[in-house]
Amino acid sequence: MDSSTPDTGAQPETPAAEHPMQARRPGVWAALAIVVLYFALQFGLGILIGAVVGLAAKLKAALAAAPAHSVPPTTKSIVAAIQASPDLRVIVVVLTLTATAAVTAWLVHRLWPAQWTGAGLPGFGFTRLANPRAYLVAVLLGIVVLLLGGPLTQFLAGQHPIRQDVTLLAGSVSPGLRVLLALVVVGVAPFAEELVFRGVLLSGLARRMPIGWAVLASAVIFGCAHLPDFGFAWYPVPVLILLGLIAAWLRVRTHSLWPSIALHATNNAVAAVAWFVVAHR
């Protein structure tokens, strides 16, 4: 990997004409706003897409039923239809995550276009990797984090069950939909979350604090932001913080966001493989 010294964080403000990369860069509050917006989009788009998918399912059922027994769909019946059908819930999740990633990427690129391909901070790191061996390191680290993180999370949880919404959902649908969900979890989600946390957030934090503290703060925020995925159980958070620390270290060390995405994707991929292994037991 590139061993050159990374950008170490806060720099004095300079005129945009001298340093175009610093002309428009996210500050701490703007970066935190993107994090909040990312999850707010998931919530809002999830409701909207869920309403559309549920309405379509109810209308299809109404058309298939005898006219005398058809009932106009209501909000309550749409919600009940989605909750009763894991297949519909997977479709909603897939569409929601994909739409959220697309909107977030578009917004970030529109707000800070000069930062998109910046190698060092405050850039977001969508640049060609100088040393491709960093991908191998990222993949190996992703596997190591998962192998060590699983037992650690179980130890911290003790007798308490650990339930992740997407894992529970994946175990209750057909193999085809499970593959579709896995593709989104492995491909779309790591891209979007690394852009938000190791791209925008790390850049914004590094503007106001030393890079080491920025790395730690971004990892802690990353871990805590996933609490709703586990029913607000804290047991998985330490491992998520560790994943965030390693991903941020890769971002700073390699001057590229792609190894962080590879790390995140590998971690998710190994977990997704377990969906199929468990389903065939």
Q: Which of 9-23, 27-41, 66-80, 229-243 has the lowest mean pLDDT?
A: 9-23
**Phi, psi torsion values for 83, nearest 5 degrees:** -65, -30
Question: Angle at which helices 258-279 and 237-254 pack, to 10 degrees?
Answer: 140
pLDDT in tens, 35-93: 999 999 999 999 999 989 888 877 776 666 655 555 666 667 667 767 778 888 899 99
pLDDT in tens, 111-141: 999 999 999 888 999 998 888 999 999 999 9
The answer to the question of residue 20 being in a domain is no
Best CA proximity match to 3, nearest among 269, 254, 263: 254
The CA distance from 87 to 280, in Å, is: 18
The answer to the question of residue 59 being in a domain is yes
The CA distance from 30 to 36, in Å, is: 10
* Domain hosting residue 178, numbered range: 26-279
| Confidence label for 1 from pLDDT (cuts 50, 70 and 90) | very low
pLDDT for 12 equals 42
Residue 262 has pLDDT above 70, yes or no: yes
pLDDT for 66 equals 54
Task: Please enumerate in sequence order all residues whose Cβ is within 8 A of that of 182, keeping only pairs 6 or more positions apart, or say none.
Answer: 170, 269, 272, 275
Mean pLDDT, the chain, integer: 85
The answer to the question of residue 8 being in a domain is no
The answer to the question of residue 157 being in a domain is yes
Region of 231 (left: φ > 0; alpha: ψ -120 to 50; beta: rest) is left
pLDDT for 65 equals 63
| Confidence label for 9 from pLDDT (cuts 50, 70 and 90) | very low
The answer to the question of residue 89 being in a domain is yes
Question: Angle at which helices 28-64 and 86-111 pack, to 10 degrees?
Answer: 150
Determine the residue type at 37: L
Best CA proximity match to 204, nearest among 104, 102, 110, 112: 112
Task: Please enumerate in sequence order all residues whose Cβ is within 8 A of that of 207, keeping only pairs 6 or more positions apart, or say none.
Answer: 9, 10, 11, 25, 26, 27, 28, 122
**Phi, psi torsion values for 210, nearest 5 degrees:** -55, 150
pLDDT for 71 equals 60
Residues 215 and 248: beta-carbon distance below 8 Å: yes
State CA 185 to chain mean position distance. Answer: 8
The answer to the question of residue 16 being in a domain is no
The CA distance from 23 to 194, in Å, is: 23
Q: Which of 59-63, 240-244, 262-266, 269-273 has the lowest mean pLDDT?
A: 59-63
- Which range scores top for mean pLDDT: 20-29, 85-94, 198-207? 198-207
The answer to the question of residue 182 being in a domain is yes
Residue 265 has pLDDT above 90, yes or no: yes
The answer to the question of residue 9 being in a domain is no
Region of 9 (left: φ > 0; alpha: ψ -120 to 50; beta: rest) is left
Q: Looking at residue 6, what DSSP letter applies?
A: P
- Number of domains the chain is built from: 1
